[in-house]
Structures are given as C-alpha cells and as structure tokens.
Amino acid sequence: MHHSLRLLRPVCAATAVALVSTLLISCGGRYIETAGTDTIVSVDQINIQDWSMAADEMVQSLLTSGMLERAPTQPATLAVSRIVNNTTEQVDADYLTRRIRVALNQSGKVMTTTTIGLGDVVEDPLARQLAREYEESGDEQVIRPRPYFTLSGKLLEDRARAGRTRQVTYTFQLALTEVDTGLAVWEDVKDITKQGRRPSVGW
Amino acid sequence: MNRILSPAAPVAGLLVLLLALSGCKSVDTVERINPEAIPDPVADERIVTDPTLRRHITVVEVNRATVSGDLTRVQVRLQNNLRRDRTVQYRFEWYDAEDMFVDSPTSVWRVRTLKGGETIALSDVAPNPRAVDFVLKLQRN
C-alpha cells in the first residue's frame, strides 16, 4: 500500500504542474486575428472591426457606383476633406478614411494627395515644402495634379436602452464631391448596431 | 395505477407550444415571375465541414459581374431553410490568376441574420483587377 502511494506521488505532482501551467498559459495574453471573430465587441465604443466593416462597405459602394470613372484622368485624384465626429467618443477618423484610401489605392482606381489639406494642414509637409521650393525655382518638371474629388463625412451615434439591454448605432456618412462642379456625385450611409447587457460582448 | 395530472400541466403545455410557435417566424416574399436581370452564374464547389450549417443554410446561386471597368464582383445568395432566425458569420477571400491570396485592408468577418425562410445576397468586390477568384467562408455565429 505504502509502495503504491509512493509511486502515485510523482504522477500527482506532474498533474499539478500541468494544471498550473495550463492556468498560467490561459491567463496570459495571446495574439488574435484583428479581422477575426475573437475580437472584443464593445457596446460603448467603436471597435476596430467596426471601422473595417464600415470602410469595406463604403469602398464596395464607391467602386460599384461607377463615379470614379468620371475623372478625366485615371486613376482619379482625391483629397480627404473634413470628417466630423459627432459621437461622444474621442476617435481618430483616420481609422476609417485611411482604410478607404488604402483600399481605393490598391484597387488602382484612386490616388490620394498628401500635400493638399483643409486649412492648409497637410499630411506630408515636407513634400509640399519641396514642391513649393521647386516651383519657386522655376523647375518646369514639377507637376501637381489637382484633386478631382474630395472625400468628406460625418460620424454619428445613437444610443438606446431598454431595461438592462443597451444598444448603440454608429452611423458613418461619406460623400464624394466633384471639385469642378461642387456636386456630391456619390454618397452613402452605413449603420453598425451593437446590442448587449454588458459593456463588452462577443460575436 | 391512476396517474393524476397536475392542473398546471395543460397550461404549461400550452405555454411551451406558444413559445415554440412564436419562435417560428418566417418571411414571405413577392417577386417577378420573369426577372429582367440576366445573371452570370458561377459554377461553384462547396466544401462542408459543418453539416448542421449546411442543413440550415443553402447556397442558392453564385453570380459574377464586372464593376469599375475591371474589378470582379461576386454575389452569393443564401437561403435559410429554418422557420426561425439564423445568424451566420462570413468573409470573402480573393485570389489572383496564380492562385495566390490577395490581401485587402478592409477584409473582415461580418455577421448577417437571415429570417426564417429568407433568402439574402452577400456580395463583395475584388480588391484589385488581379484578384479573379474568390472563396466565401461561412460559419455559425
């Protein structure tokens, strides 16, 4: 009897070590796919997948609209205008606009200027400074195509509550304006609604 | 042996029946007998790893079109075979002519809920003209 107990002792110790290791591993951090279904869904804030979903739908809408082909030179040139944030959150709209820009750029349909910006605030001040210097020096090779389109928009939110259930709808509004005519040749609105009883819920 | 039923039993049974019936809510639709649209169907291959999902959701048809000059657009119509709501997660992936994966900065898993008996269309546009083939991934929510 004592002999068998002595034999069992290492087995118990190994099992305990394995259990503790498992617990420690499960408590530690892990990498997950950013665009995957393991991401956290928060009812009280815009999550990374919300930006991606909104950007994806906007890009699809814009590409299928056929409006980008109105530009006389292809790919069409675009400047990003103001994106008004009317949500209660302090968010950087670049999460949305940059994804849209990258997707449109990779589609080969649009190129975005980084040296023209609203209120003279530009994305790449060095490029603009150099271009100005070249222009002032009379360099005829300087070509600065003006944007044919501008992209503007607004972020909105609507909150509702019934008992313990909370709901938030984030509305993404975008418009593509043809600079020459001042007409919004493409507009779209995408709503993302999330509901839950806790601040963070899963998919 | 006489079995005595509690007076609450019929009421409970009725409640269960009512609950079951309230969960079975399907969608009626009206559409043209002869649609004007001329679809460009795509022959598709289906790899099933979740037989339950296959029973619940049917891929009715897959169509393709070209948008913005040279970008492929696909549309997959799904039908919910159940008489209650069914939520699915889905994602489109794109491949070029050499069967290499084409990444997209906006590619993300999405969620759609199909009402009982409802047919919906999921669509996606290729991220660039090189992307010619696609895979639609579906999973239960």
Tokens 């300087």 locate to A142
Q: What share of chain B is helix, strand, coil (3-state, %, to 5)?
A: 15, 40, 45
Residue B1 pLDDT level (bands cut at 50, 70, 90): very low
Q: Please list every residue in chain B whose beta carbon sits closer than 8 Å to the beta carbon of residue A60.
A: 123-125
Using a CB–CB cutoff of 8 Å, tell me whether A36 touches chain B: yes
What are the chain A neighbours of B109 within 8 Å (beta carbons)? 35-37, 49, 203
- H-type alpha helices, B24-120: 51-56
Q: How far apart are CA B131 and CA A202, in angstroms?
A: 32
Spatial distance between the Cα atoms of B105 and A101, rounded to a whole number of angstroms: 10
Which residues in B lie closer than 8 A to residue A64 (C-beta atoms)? 67-68, 73, 125
At residue A29's C-alpha, the angle toward residues A23 and A31, to 5°, is: 125
Q: A85-88: list long-range contacts, CB under 8 Å, 24+ apart.
A: A85/A154, A85/A155, A86/A154, A86/A155, A86/A156, A86/A157, A87/A46, A87/A155, A87/A156, A87/A157, A87/A170, A88/A157
**Predicted local confidence at residue A163, as pLDDT:** 93
**B102 CA: distance to closest CA in chain A (Å):** 11
- B20 vs chain A: nearest CA distance in angstroms? 23
pLDDT 10s digits, B49-89: 888 998 999 999 999 999 998 999 999 999 999 999 999 99
Round to whole Å and give the CA distance between B60 and B86: 16
Give the tens place of pLDDT for each residue, B5-57. Answer: 566 666 666 666 665 555 577 888 888 888 888 888 888 877 888 889 989 99
pLDDT tens-digit series, residues B86-124: 999 999 999 999 999 999 888 889 999 999 999 999 999
pLDDT in tens, chain A (203 residues): 555 556 566 666 666 666 665 555 556 789 988 888 889 899 889 999 999 999 999 999 999 999 999 999 999 999 999 999 999 989 999 999 999 999 999 999 999 999 998 888 899 999 989 988 888 888 777 677 899 999 999 999 999 999 999 999 999 999 999 999 999 999 999 999 999 987 766 66
Contact A106 B111 (CB under 8 A): no
What is B41-140's CATH number?
2.60.40.3230
- Separation CA B3–CA A199 (nearest Å): 50
One-letter identity of residue A99: R
* Percentage above 70 pLDDT, chain B: 83
Q: How many CB atoms lie within 10 A of CB A6?
A: 9
Chain B contact present for A41, CB below 8 A: no
- Asked if the C-beta of A60 comes within 8 angstroms of chain B's C-beta atoms, the answer is yes
Please give the Cα distance from A52 to A58 (Å, whole number).
Answer: 10
> What beta strand segments (E) does B2-85 contain?
57-67, 71-80
Residues from chain A that touch B105, judged by Cβ atoms under 8 A, are 55, 99, 102-103, 106
What residues of A are in contact with residue B125 (Cβ under 8 Å)? 59-60, 63-64
- The closest of A93, A92, A67, A91 to A78, measured between CA atoms, is A67
pTM beyond cutoff 0.90: no
